Structure 1
Amino acid sequence: MRFNLNFRSKVAPVRNHENAPAYPLTPAQELYAAVATAALSDQFYELADTRLARLRELVARSDPQFVARLAVYAREQLYLRSVPLVLAVELARIHRGNNLVSRLVARVVQRADEIPELLAFYAQANGRTGAKVLARLSKQMQHGLALAFNKFDAYQLAKYDRDGAAVRLRDALFLVHPKPHSEAQQAVFNQLVTGELPVPYTWETELSAAGQVAYPSPAERQAALTRTWETLVASRRLGYMALLRNLRNLLEANVSTDTLALACATLADASQVARARQLPFRFLAAYREVLALEMGAAPPVLAALEAAIGASARNLRGFGADTRIVVACDVSGSMQQPISPRSKVLLYDVGLVLGMLLQSRCQHVVTGIFGNTWKRVALPQGQVLRNVQELYRREGEVGYATNGHLVVQDLRQRREVVDKMMIFTDCQLWDSTGKGNTLAQEWAAYRANVAPQARLYLFDLAGHGTAPLDVRAEQGVALIAGWSDKIFDVLAALETGGNALTEIEKIEL
């Protein structure tokens, strides 16, 4: 199935959140951008409830097969967890006639705790509370969740069977009645019902057990904690994500040199990086935590993190020595927003990380940041995280408006020919000088007078539903959305004649 991205209905000009001229997206494009950038938390221009309402409206306007493919793409390629469940629930509200919903639910539920999470959202979306939470579940949703239950063993069910949840796994089991595929699985289901699942071993339970012992002195307690961390690393029972998130704890526990070396080797192992499927900005968050310690043991850990993020971009298709690139990162005020309430990572950080990943793979590249002004910053290759920190240090030098047109204006005035321009932004561009300059005007002038073959790639990091210029191939413009390194697969598709949704079209349901 192909999705027509070039269709534009005759609509009145639209305005963005800064009341500047903007261009509408097709429903498929808008849903793709909204999903790929969804943390379902409050953003600078849009509250979480507003985003949910817009997702619901866009799902209703979109082809069901596209919605299902997009949900799978978001879960398996963009590494998102909650928004694929939202899409599945919204699709269940409006789609009938085949088993698309049940197959989708079974596909996107990949952790046991996503079963109660999906049911909780299903109840919320259908206005049900209290005893009604588990009432009148659609047959396709019920069948899909039953299939999902069959994926999980006793360890996975026990690990995610949490007290205090609106819906417990035991409740979900009674609701969907999964058919066990063996007597052993029936025994596991029985244990879930009776509350007799074995306590799962996790690094959290190991640390908790160590912390509950009474020690004669604080020094002995600290020594026991150090030994526990060393055992966890040596046994390789600390998963990659847990290791990434606990680097600061390892350093503060003063683990041995050998333990730290093993942790660094694990972090930098390209095969483990590939399996871990971490979003690129997770490496930046860990890098900053370690950097803040100012410890003598930190440098090898920082080097391992650089190696890890480099490995995550190893398959990123860069460009040859003759391809001239501009990488421009938006550092305006609206980009200074956390991607979720519990995260220290900002949209601004995501743009810098993705921009520096791309810069690391190009041979001829101009890098810079824009706000009130546009500033070129020369940076060495091969130091993605260090380069991000350097740009972060300098962001105040360009101010906090969103004058993205200055990037192209600078090229036009220099009469500098480039092949490809990459702009990482929330797409809420405007002219803070009041002169009414726009990116669309500058791009048209640049292509007409300087570089007719140039192409502009707009990396949308917020998904607010509009673009600052017409995102059609004949205009030399393409829209790409998301926070994962997988967005560069979309870039590769565009290079071979595809479009922003080509990767989604490849999904087999």
Structure 2
Amino acid sequence: MSRFNTRGGRPAASSPVTTTGQRTVTHEGATAHLRDAKSELFLLAVSNFVSQDTFYETGGRRDDRFTGLVRQLAADDPAWTAGLLGWLRGEGNMRTAALVGAAEFVHARLEADRAAAPGQTAAEGALPYSNRAVIASVLQRADEPGEMLGYWTSRHGRRLPKPVKRGVADAVQRLYDERSLLKYDTDSKGFRFGDVLELVHAAPSPDRAWQGPLFKHALDRRHGRDESIPEQLAMLRRRAKLMSMPVPDRRALLRDPWDRTLLDDAGMTWEALAGWVQGPLDAAAWEAVIPSMGLMALARNLRNFDQAGVCDAVAAAVASRFADAGEVRRSRMFPFRWWAAYKAAPSLRWAHALEQAIGHSLANVPALHGRTLILVDRSPSMFPGYGYSTPNRSDISLAEQAAVFGSALAMRAERPTLVEFGQTSNVMSVPKGGSVLRLVEAFGQIGGTDIPSAVKKHFDGHDRVVIVTDEQTRPGWLPSNCSGYGGMRETQIDDLIPRTVPVYMWNMAGYREAATASGGGNRHALGGLTDAAFRMIPLLDAGRDASWPWEQQGPSTGSGARRQS
């Protein structure tokens, strides 16, 4: 009888998030697995909102674990770590974690260089990117050069090494313009634009004739010099003209449709507009500023639009932007942000457009063939409350994020079994052609976390299993008749799911402890707050190896992590 040359056989595939073979226990006492340093850092980085507590881990402890791993891997594999940091701020869209990681990466390498033998540097020749380029790669918004300096000086002192200065200067040249000056150069910042320019000595770009006058004006603003605004800075001059108007005349200006372009031409954000009119924004004010608002700002203000009475024509224009796949992709909003907008909106006039937007933001979710068991964790550790918090605790819990991913996968799968679980579990109805947002609404909260019991109850010869969870399961128990003795023994996932069936553990919280081994043998770990990792499932299903996401896509023009002199 043939044992290996069979129609049902599949090639063995490997995935990057790998366990070491060492064991520990989950926070709930089940046997757990330890990951290697790269895998632990990756899963933590893609879920870590810096300084935020989680159910099982304080913000300070998470931050220490994160910086410790970055510093370790800056020495052990600097090229891999530089690639992670550039991708993290780019496609990964994790702003603060990428910034902190880049600062600690550079600090660790500079310390290693100082400790190296004379005439040598640590890991000489191992890094295809300069420290300067790593700093520049994570600074993608105009307020981030000041954020980098704020973090560095609070953590490592006022002395700025040359790679930090030069990396920040590169970013300043790329990011500073009139609109960003008006938006981010405020008195609330510890490092104003002028402070950054003085500290890093950024030179204006030779192909931006207006940038030299802009830099000079930023310095004048910082030091309170009453200099006139240079002629080259037309947006700043328009803003000054608006600010000189008598307050009683300002609202009247917003009601003239021919004058509404003045707001965008003057770099007026919706936040600044409230200060300019010196009062709440009414329908006319919102309708005047909405055309210049970004997608994130629009999604966050739907309640304000409804309460102010924004007209249906303007609402339809907003909805058309939500329905634009290209605009949604360019916004780089996390999928759960669209769920947050839907949950906060008072009226249903936004619902269809928000359903389209969340669909566009989940474009990487595959249409999996066959039967797929999808288990979504709804235990207390996935929710905020009871004196603890979760990442992004102000609006969307890990449980809701997990429900978004699980629902999207179920809606596109050929034959899904969608289950919400905790200590008990329930099968969810998945209507063909239904709404992801409505499906997310149907989830509840269930006490405890028991992955083995959910698997035992619902696995029934499925082609694959996807578990969206923080992995901190309780032990599952099965009767044991080993050596003729009765009793109970702890149950592992491998006791319940054959090795021929792929299991994909989607880690939502970045904890150190893994509920199952991963990296091969049809056991794989995924992570992140975007749908990017879903691209790995069809590859691994087909027996093809998967690599780190920045290695899959090749050199990224967005990362900026290139060697510079």
Place the TM-score, normalised by the shorter chain, in its bin. 0.7 to 0.9
Name the counterpart of 1:317: 366
**Given the alignment of the two structures, is residue 420 of structure 1 paired with residue 434 of structure 2, yes or no?**
no
Contact 1:373 1:403 in 2 (8 A): yes
**Given the alignment of the two structures, is residue 353 of structure 1 paired with residue 400 of structure 2, yes or no?**
no
Shift of 1:339: 4.0
Contact 2:477 2:490 in 1 (8 A): no
Shift of 1:167: 2.3
In the alignment, the residues of structure 2 paired with residue 69 and residue 431 of structure 1 have an alpha-carbon distance, to the nearest angstrom, of: 37
Q: Secondary structure at the match of 2:62?
A: helix
In the alignment, the residues of structure 2 paired with residue 91 and residue 52 of structure 1 have an alpha-carbon distance, to the nearest angstrom, of: 14
Q: 2:72 aligns with which of 52, 57, 61?
A: 61
Look up the equivalent residue of 1:36 and give its one-letter code: V
Look up the equivalent residue of 1:194 and give its one-letter code: D
Name the counterpart of 2:270: 203
Contact 1:430 1:438 in 2 (8 A): no
Q: Secondary structure at the match of 2:449?
A: coil
Q: Secondary structure at the match of 1:319?
A: coil
Shift of 1:71: 1.1
Q: 1:249 aligns with which of 304, 309, 333?
A: 304
Contact 1:493 1:500 in 2 (8 A): no
Look up the equivalent residue of 2:134 and give its one-letter code: L
Q: Secondary structure at the match of 1:325?
A: strand
Q: 1:19 aligns with which of 21, 29, 42?
A: 29
Contact 1:240 1:267 in 2 (8 A): yes
Map 1:177-188 onto structure 2 (within 5 A): 177-182=201-206, 183-188=209-214
Name the counterpart of 2:431: 380
Shift of 1:273: 1.1
In the alignment, the residues of structure 2 paired with residue 342 and residue 369 of structure 1 have an alpha-carbon distance, to the nearest angstrom, of: 21
Name the counterpart of 1:288: 343
Look up the equivalent residue of 1:242 and give its one-letter code: A
**Given the alignment of the two structures, is residue 390 of structure 1 paired with residue 442 of structure 2, yes or no?**
yes
Q: 2:61 aligns with which of 39, 46, 50?
A: 50
Matched residues, number: 465
Look up the equivalent residue of 1:386 and give its one-letter code: R
Moved more, 464-473 or 491-500: 491-500
Structure with bigger gyration radius: 2
In the alignment, the residues of structure 1 paired with residue 32 and residue 100 of structure 2 have an alpha-carbon distance, to the nearest angstrom, of: 28
Name the counterpart of 2:89: 75
Shift of 1:158: 2.9
Q: Secondary structure at the match of 2:442?
A: helix
Name the counterpart of 2:199: 175
Contact 2:31 2:515 in 1 (8 A): yes
Contact 2:47 2:509 in 1 (8 A): yes
Q: Secondary structure at the match of 2:372?
A: strand
Contact 1:22 1:469 in 2 (8 A): yes
Q: Secondary structure at the match of 1:283?
A: helix
Shift of 1:175: 0.9
Look up the equivalent residue of 2:418 and give its one-letter code: T
Name the counterpart of 1:239: 294
Classify 1:93/1:257 alpha carbon distance in 2 versus 1 (closer, same or farther; 3 Å): same
Shift of 1:325: 0.5
Shift of 1:137: 0.8
Classify 1:280/1:437 alpha carbon distance in 2 versus 1 (closer, same or farther; 3 Å): farther
**Given the alignment of the two structures, is residue 468 of structure 1 paired with residue 515 of structure 2, yes or no?**
yes
Q: Secondary structure at the match of 1:162?
A: coil
Structure 2 gaps, min length 5: 1-13, 111-120, 122-126, 222-228, 240-266, 480-487, 556-560
TM-score where L is the length of structure 1: 0.85
Classify 1:137/1:37 alpha carbon distance in 2 versus 1 (closer, same or farther; 3 Å): same
**Given the alignment of the two structures, is residue 300 of structure 1 paired with residue 364 of structure 2, yes or no?**
no
Look up the equivalent residue of 1:50 and give its one-letter code: R
Shift of 1:232: 2.4
Shift of 1:45: 0.8
Map 1:105-124 onto structure 2 (within 5 A): 105-124=135-154
Map 1:334-353 onto structure 2 (within 5 A): 334-337=381-384, 338-340=389-391, 343-353=394-404
- Normalized per residue, which structure has more helix? 1
Higher relative contact order (CA 8 A, sep 6+): 2
**Given the alignment of the two structures, is residue 478 of structure 1 paired with residue 524 of structure 2, yes or no?**
yes
Q: 1:269 aligns with which of 324, 343, 348?
A: 324
Shift of 1:102: 1.0
Shift of 1:341: 6.0
Classify 1:421/1:94 alpha carbon distance in 2 versus 1 (closer, same or farther; 3 Å): same
Structure 1 gaps, min length 5: 129-134, 213-220
Q: Secondary structure at the match of 2:68?
A: helix
Name the counterpart of 1:216: none
Q: Secondary structure at the match of 2:53?
A: coil
- Once the two structures are superposed, residues 365-387 of structure 1 have per-residue CA deviations (whole angstroms, 9 ceiling, x without a partner) of 00011111122111224311110
Contact 2:402 2:468 in 1 (8 A): yes
Aligned-pair identity (%): 28
In the alignment, the residues of structure 1 paired with residue 85 and residue 137 of structure 2 have an alpha-carbon distance, to the nearest angstrom, of: 9
Contact 2:391 2:398 in 1 (8 A): no
Contact 1:489 1:503 in 2 (8 A): no
In the alignment, the residues of structure 2 paired with residue 144 and residue 477 of structure 1 have an alpha-carbon distance, to the nearest angstrom, of: 40
Classify 1:493/1:167 alpha carbon distance in 2 versus 1 (closer, same or farther; 3 Å): farther
In the alignment, the residues of structure 1 paired with residue 391 and residue 306 of structure 2 have an alpha-carbon distance, to the nearest angstrom, of: 26
In the alignment, the residues of structure 2 paired with residue 4 and residue 483 of structure 1 have an alpha-carbon distance, to the nearest angstrom, of: 19
Q: Secondary structure at the match of 1:50?
A: helix
Map 1:431-442 onto structure 2 (within 5 A): 431=475, 441-442=492-493
Contact 2:70 2:101 in 1 (8 A): yes
Look up the equivalent residue of 1:390 and give its one-letter code: A
Look up the equivalent residue of 1:377 and give its one-letter code: M
Contact 1:480 1:491 in 2 (8 A): no
In the alignment, the residues of structure 1 paired with residue 506 and residue 18 of structure 2 have an alpha-carbon distance, to the nearest angstrom, of: 21
Shift of 1:17: 1.6
Look up the equivalent residue of 2:166 and give its one-letter code: H
Contact 1:480 1:500 in 2 (8 A): no
Classify 1:278/1:430 alpha carbon distance in 2 versus 1 (closer, same or farther; 3 Å): same
In the alignment, the residues of structure 2 paired with residue 402 and residue 6 of structure 1 have an alpha-carbon distance, to the nearest angstrom, of: 23
Q: Secondary structure at the match of 1:457?
A: strand
Contact 1:211 1:225 in 2 (8 A): no
Moved more, 175-184 or 347-356: 175-184
Look up the equivalent residue of 2:316 and give its one-letter code: A
In the alignment, the residues of structure 1 paired with residue 554 and residue 334 of structure 2 have an alpha-carbon distance, to the nearest angstrom, of: 21
In the alignment, the residues of structure 1 paired with residue 34 and residue 216 of structure 2 have an alpha-carbon distance, to the nearest angstrom, of: 53
Name the counterpart of 2:251: none
Classify 1:432/1:211 alpha carbon distance in 2 versus 1 (closer, same or farther; 3 Å): farther
Q: Secondary structure at the match of 1:150?
A: helix
Shift of 1:188: 0.9
